[in-house]
Structure 1
Amino acid sequence: MRLLLRNATIIDGTGAEAEAGDVLLEDDHIAELGATTLAPDEVIDARGLVVTPGFIDVHSHSDFTLPGDPEARAKVMQGVTSEVVGNCGLGLFPSNETVERFYALLSPMLFGEPGGGCFRDIDAYRARLEERGVSVNVVPLVPHGNVRCQAMGLAERAARPDEIARMRDSVDTNMRQGAFGLSTGLVYAPGAFADTEEIVELAKVSAAHGGIYASHMRDEGSRLVQSVEETLRIGREAKIPVQISHHKAADRWNWGKVETTLAMVDRARAEGLDVHSDVYPYTAGSTVLSAMFLPLWAFEGSQDRLLERLRDPKVREQIVEGSKERMMKLATLPGVLDRIVPKRLILPFVLFELSRLVVVSSLKNQQQYEGMTLREIAKARKQKLYDMLLDLLVEEELAIAAIAHVMSEDDVQRVMAHDATMIGTDGFPQREGKPHPRAFGTYARVIEHYVRERRLFGIETAIHKMTGMVAKKLGLRDRGVLRAGAKADVVVLDAARVKDRATYASPKNHPEGIVHVFVNGVHTVKNGKHTGARGGRVLHRAG
C-alpha cells in the first residue's frame, strides 16, 4: 500500500529548514521524500500543511494506562507516535510479589482506582500490549524503584552487596529484553533510599548494553545544583549518556537556578559527557500529594504502614515535624540572610504560599475537592492545614493527586530554548479527576504558544526537540526523522491552526490542527479523528 502526501511543507526532524515536496509512505516505511517516482494507491493533498516525523514523548508515564487504554488518544491526537515509559524509577515492570503489593497500593494513589497489575519483565509487558494491539510505539526504560523493591522492598537503608547483585541481574535481564536505559526517581520511595554508589553500579549495567540514564533527581528546589552534580557524576562514573528529567527549579526561592544548572550541562557536554534535559511547557508540576509533604521515613516498609502511622496520634506529630523540616529546606533567603534568619520564622510563609499554589486534581472518594487549593479545602473543612492534609490522606487511602504551580515562566523558557533540551509531557491520562493538561496538550502548546506567539524558536527547532533529538538520544535509528527507509511515523499538521485546548479546569480536550497521524504507516488519526487503529509496537533497543 502506497500513500502519497502531495504538495507538503516538509520539516524532517533534523533541525534543517522546511522544504516543499512530497512524502510517499509504503507499508510501514517512508519510500520516497521530496520528488517521488513510484505510483501511489492513495493521495492526500497536503498543500498548506506541514509534514513532520511523529513526536516522541521522551518522558511519559503511560505504561500505567496503556494496558487499559491501548488507543492512547490523549497522546496520539496531539501527534505522539512513540512514548518512552518507565520514567522516574516507577513502572509496571519488572516485578515480583513485593512489587505487586507496592503497586496495588500505589496505583490508587496515582489514579484513584485499581491499577492493571504488574508484569514480571519487559517481555511480559510487551506480550500483553501486542496481544491486544496498541496505537503508539512504546519505548521502555528499566525503573530503578521496581528493581530495588524486587531486591529489598521499601527498606530505608543502603543496599548490601548481595542486593546490589540481584538488582544488577534484574537490570541486565530487562536490558537484554530491549530496554533503552535505566531511570531513577530519587525523590520517591524506594528510590530515594538509594545512595549514589548504588545508582552508579546499576547505570553501568545499562551502559554495557548501550542504554541511557534518565533521572528524576533528588531535589528540584533548594538542592537543585547538588542534585545536578550527582546526576552528572553518575554519568561520568558509569560512562553513560544522561537525561535530566523535567529540568526545572521548583518554588519561588529557587527561581533562576536553572541558569547555573544549564551552564553545568554545557560544561559537561564540552568535556564529552552526552547529557540532555527534557521539559514540559507549563509552570506547574504534578504528583501524588503524599510525596509533596510527607517525610521520606514515613514511607518505609509499605503503604499500609504509612496509613497506620497517619492514624497514630503520636506518630502524626512526628510526621508533621518531619514535614516542616522538609518545608524549611525549600526556603532560601538571599545572601547572608539565609544563614542568620531562623528558618522557623520563614516556615509560616512557606506553608501559606504552598497552600495557595497546590491544587488537588483527583481523589478517590471526595471529588467535591477537585480543582480546589489546599487552603480552600482547609477552609471548607474548618481545619488547620496539617490536620486537613493528614486526615484527607487517611480518608482517601492516600489516593490524592495534586498540581503545584511552583515554577517560573522565565525558567521554563530558558530550559526549553537550551540546545540540549527535548520536549516531553511527564503525563499520564488518568481516567478519574482532572489530570495535568500536559497529558493532552503539550505538543500543541509548544507550537501554538512558544513558536507562533512567543517566537522562542522556529518551528524547525521545535520539531527537532520533539523528534530527531529524542531519537538520537535513545538510539532509535529508524524513527524521529523523515528520510527514505525510515519507519513511517508521520504527522500532518496545520501549523497556523494548531491550538492547545487542554486547560487546568478542563484538561481532557484534544488539540486542533493535528490533521493526520501515521504510526508504522497505519493511518491512526484521519482528518482530526482517531481511527481506532493499533499499529504501534513495543520497541526493542537495537544492538
Structure 2
Amino acid sequence: MAEYDVLIKNAKIVEGTGKKAYKGSIGVQGDKVVALGDAKGDAKRTVNAKGLTATPGFIDAHSHADWTLLWFPKAESYTMQGVTTFVGGQCGGSPAPLGEYIRLPWPLMDRLPDLDPFKFYPKQPYYPLEQANEWMEEIYGWTLDWEDMAGYFRKVEEVGVSMNYAPLVGHGSVRTKVMGLDYKRHGTKEEWAEMREHIHEAMKQGCLGMSAGLDYDPDVFAAHEEIIDGVSVLKDYEGVYCPHWRRTGRRRGVSAGHVPNEKITALMECVDVHEKTGVRLHYAHMSTGWEVHPPAPDELEAANVKTTLDMITANSKSELDITWDAIPQLTRSGFATMPYLASLYAPWLRELGGLEALGKWLKVKDFREEVKDAIRTGKWFIRVAYNPNTAPRWAENIMVLKSGVPDISGKTIAEIAGERAADPWDTYFDIIAEDPFTRGAT
C-alpha cells in the first residue's frame, strides 16, 4: 500500500515559521501534510515541483467572500493565489441574520442599476427580502432561504465550497434585523437586548466573533455604549471583536472642507471597548493614528507606526489581546482596481451609457463643472485618498496604466498635470476626453 496519497518532490519549501526556504519533499495523506522536508516512500501520485515554491495555504484575515461564496463556490480567485482560508462577515456585514430588510448581496448589487435604476446611490440602502428574492429567483433560480447563520452554513455545505471559511457575525446585519430602515439613530435598551439575543445565537451556531462597520450604515449611527453592550456577549464564547473602526466617518455628503475623523481617537475608542468588555480586539485594516502632510520621510512614518502601536497596546496583558491586519499596499490598486480612469465617476457613466459618451461630454465646460460641483458638495463620494475634497495630494495617488494618449502611461495625474502646466482635476478629465478607455489604478 502506498505510504502517501501525494508526494511532492524537489519543491522550494517555505514553512511560514521564519525559517529560510529550502529544497525538499512533502508527503500528504488525505487532507493532511504528514511529512515535511525529507519525505520518502511510495505514493499514489507524485508531483515534480522543480522550479516551484510550496507554502502553507494563505489566510485572508479580512474578506467579504461570504457574500459571493454561493455564486462562486470554487473561489478560483482565491485558490489560484494560494489562499485556502478566509475570515468573512467583516465591516459589520454578514449573510445573516436576515430580517424584513437586507443589504443586497454583491452579485445582485452589480445588477441593481438595471433592476432599479439610479444615478448616484441606490434608492434605498436596504431592500425588502421579498423583493430581493424575486430578483434572485428570476436571475439565478434560487433564493436567500435562510434566517440565521446556521441556515446559511447549511446552504454553504449544500452547495459545497473549496475554501475554509472562518465566520464572523456582523453587528450591522444584527442592527438591520432589529431596526430595519429606522436605523439613523441610537438604539433603545429594548433593541440592545434583542441584538444581544441574535449575537448569542450566531455565536452558538459557530461564529468566531463579531465585526462592526463604524464608517458605514447602520453601525455609524450606533452609540459607543451600544457597541460595548453587543461586544460584551462575545466574552461568554471567547470570541473576538473585529471593528472597521471610525477611520473616515460616514461616507456620504463628504463635501469640500470636510474634516475627517481623528484616527488615533477612533483607534482608542476600540481599545475602550476591549477594556470594558475583556473581549479580544482585532482591528480591521490597521493604519497609523496620525496623518502626516506632506508625505513624511521613512523615519517619521516609522515613529508614527511605533507610537500608534504603543498607545493601543499599552495596557494589553498579552500579545494576542490586541491584534490587527493591514492592507498590503505594495502595488497599485491595493484597495480599488478602477479599471478605467473614468471608473471613479460611475454616476455619469450610468447616466450617459458608457465611456465614450462620458469622454465626449467632458469636453463640454458646463458639464465638467456640474460634475465637479457634485463632488464638491458631497453628492457623490470618492474614496478619501483620491478625493479632491479630502486629499490635497489626491492626484499623486492615481496612476495611468495604459492610454492611447502619448507619453502618459506609467505616470500619476500629478506628474501629467505638471508636464502640462495644468490643473490636476482638469488634467484628469482631459485624459478621459482624449481617450475614454484609458486604464488607471489608485
Structure 1 and Structure 2 fold alike (TM over 0.5): yes
* 2:149 partner amino acid: I
Task: Return the alpha-carbon distance in structure 1 between the equivalents of residues 202 and 60 of structure 2.
Answer: 21
Q: Map 1:356-505 onto structure 2 (within 5 A).
A: 359-360=344-345, 366=352, 368-369=354-355, 381-385=367-371, 388=374, 405=386, 505=439
Q: 2:100 aligns with which of 77, 92, 97?
A: 97
- Are the structure 2 counterparts of residues 255 and 86 from structure 1 closer, same or farther at C-alpha, using a change threshold of 3 Å? farther
What's 1:343 paired with?
none
Q: Map 1:197-346 onto structure 2 (within 5 A).
A: 197-220=225-248, 221-248=260-287, 253=293, 259-260=303-304, 262-269=306-313, 271-272=315-316, 274-282=321-329
What's 1:160 paired with?
188
| Residues 29-63 of structure 1, C-alpha deviations (whole Å, 9 max, x = no match) | 11211222452111111233221111111111122
The alpha-carbon deviation at position 94 of structure 1 amounts to 1.5
What's 2:415 paired with?
none
Percent identity at matched positions?
A: 28
* Stretch of structure 1 that moved more, 201-210 or 113-122: 113-122
What's 1:340 paired with?
none
- Are the structure 2 counterparts of residues 83 and 13 from structure 1 closer, same or farther at C-alpha, using a change threshold of 3 Å? same
Task: Return the alpha-carbon distance in structure 1 between the equivalents of residues 14 and 41 of structure 2.
Answer: 21
What's 1:120 paired with?
147
- Are the structure 2 counterparts of residues 104 and 8 from structure 1 closer, same or farther at C-alpha, using a change threshold of 3 Å? closer
What's 1:523 paired with?
none
- Largest Rg, 1 or 2: 2
* 2:239 partner amino acid: G
What's 2:87 paired with?
84
Task: Return the alpha-carbon distance in structure 2 between the equivalents of residues 124 and 200 of structure 1.
Answer: 27
Say if 1:360 and 1:402, in contact at 8 Å, map to a contact too: no
SS of the residue 2:270 aligns to: helix
Name the TM-score, length of structure 1 as normaliser: 0.53
The alpha-carbon deviation at position 389 of structure 1 amounts to 5.5
Task: Return the alpha-carbon distance in structure 1 between the equivalents of residues 439 and 151 of structure 2.
Answer: 37
Pair 1:133 & 2:169 matched: no
Say if 2:12 and 2:54, in contact at 8 Å, map to a contact too: yes
Say if 2:284 and 2:326, in contact at 8 Å, map to a contact too: yes
Q: 2:51 aligns with which of 38, 48, 53?
A: 48
What's 2:434 paired with?
none
Say if 1:360 and 1:403, in contact at 8 Å, map to a contact too: no
- Are the structure 2 counterparts of residues 144 and 371 from structure 1 closer, same or farther at C-alpha, using a change threshold of 3 Å? farther
What's 1:184 paired with?
212
- Are the structure 2 counterparts of residues 247 and 6 from structure 1 closer, same or farther at C-alpha, using a change threshold of 3 Å? same
Task: Return the alpha-carbon distance in structure 1 between the equivalents of residues 364 and 217 of structure 2.
Answer: 27
* 1:137 partner amino acid: N
Say if 2:240 and 2:279, in contact at 8 Å, map to a contact too: yes
Pair 1:14 & 2:17 matched: yes
The alpha-carbon deviation at position 206 of structure 1 amounts to 2.0
Name the TM-score, length of structure 2 as normaliser: 0.65
The alpha-carbon deviation at position 277 of structure 1 amounts to 2.3
Task: Return the alpha-carbon distance in structure 2 between the equivalents of residues 246 and 137 of structure 1.
Answer: 21
- Are the structure 2 counterparts of residues 107 and 196 from structure 1 closer, same or farther at C-alpha, using a change threshold of 3 Å? farther
The alpha-carbon deviation at position 259 of structure 1 amounts to 4.8
SS of the residue 2:55 aligns to: strand
SS of the residue 2:439 aligns to: coil
Task: Return the alpha-carbon distance in structure 2 between the equivalents of residues 147 and 211 of structure 1.
Answer: 16
- Are the structure 2 counterparts of residues 111 and 207 from structure 1 closer, same or farther at C-alpha, using a change threshold of 3 Å? farther
Say if 1:358 and 1:403, in contact at 8 Å, map to a contact too: no
The alpha-carbon deviation at position 263 of structure 1 amounts to 2.4
What's 2:109 paired with?
108
Task: Return the alpha-carbon distance in structure 2 between the equivalents of residues 213 and 62 of structure 1.
Answer: 19
SS of the residue 2:104 aligns to: helix
Say if 1:54 and 1:81, in contact at 8 Å, map to a contact too: yes
SS of the residue 2:162 aligns to: coil
Say if 1:217 and 1:245, in contact at 8 Å, map to a contact too: yes
| Residues 98-133 of structure 1, C-alpha deviations (whole Å, 9 max, x = no match) | 3x3x43899527975777665422222222222122
Task: Return the alpha-carbon distance in structure 2 between the equivalents of residues 263 and 160 of structure 1.
Answer: 37
SS of the residue 1:384 aligns to: helix
Say if 1:207 and 1:240, in contact at 8 Å, map to a contact too: yes
Say if 1:25 and 1:31, in contact at 8 Å, map to a contact too: yes
SS of the residue 1:192 aligns to: helix
What's 1:522 paired with?
none
Higher relative contact order (CA 8 A, sep 6+): 1
Task: Return the alpha-carbon distance in structure 2 between the equivalents of residues 401 and 280 of structure 1.
Answer: 19
Pair 1:170 & 2:171 matched: no
* 2:194 partner amino acid: R
Q: 2:177 aligns with which of 150, 156, 172?
A: 150
| Residues 58-106 of structure 1, C-alpha deviations (whole Å, 9 max, x = no match) | 11112222221222222222111112111111232221113x3x43899
- Are the structure 2 counterparts of residues 360 and 22 from structure 1 closer, same or farther at C-alpha, using a change threshold of 3 Å? farther
The count of residues paired between Structure 1 and Structure 2 equals 338
Say if 1:248 and 1:258, in contact at 8 Å, map to a contact too: no
Task: Return the alpha-carbon distance in structure 2 between the equivalents of residues 391 and 105 of structure 1.
Answer: 28
| Residues 323-373 of structure 1, C-alpha deviations (whole Å, 9 max, x = no match) | xxxxxxxxxxxxxxxxxxxxxxxxxxxxxxxxx999246966655259989
SS of the residue 2:91 aligns to: helix
Say if 1:89 and 1:183, in contact at 8 Å, map to a contact too: yes
What's 1:26 paired with?
29
Task: Return the alpha-carbon distance in structure 2 between the equivalents of residues 34 and 279 of structure 1.
Answer: 31
The alpha-carbon deviation at position 3 of structure 1 amounts to 0.5
What's 2:223 paired with?
195
Task: Return the alpha-carbon distance in structure 1 between the equivalents of residues 244 and 238 of structure 2.
Answer: 20
* 2:148 partner amino acid: D
| Residues 367-387 of structure 1, C-alpha deviations (whole Å, 9 max, x = no match) | 5259989x9699683442465
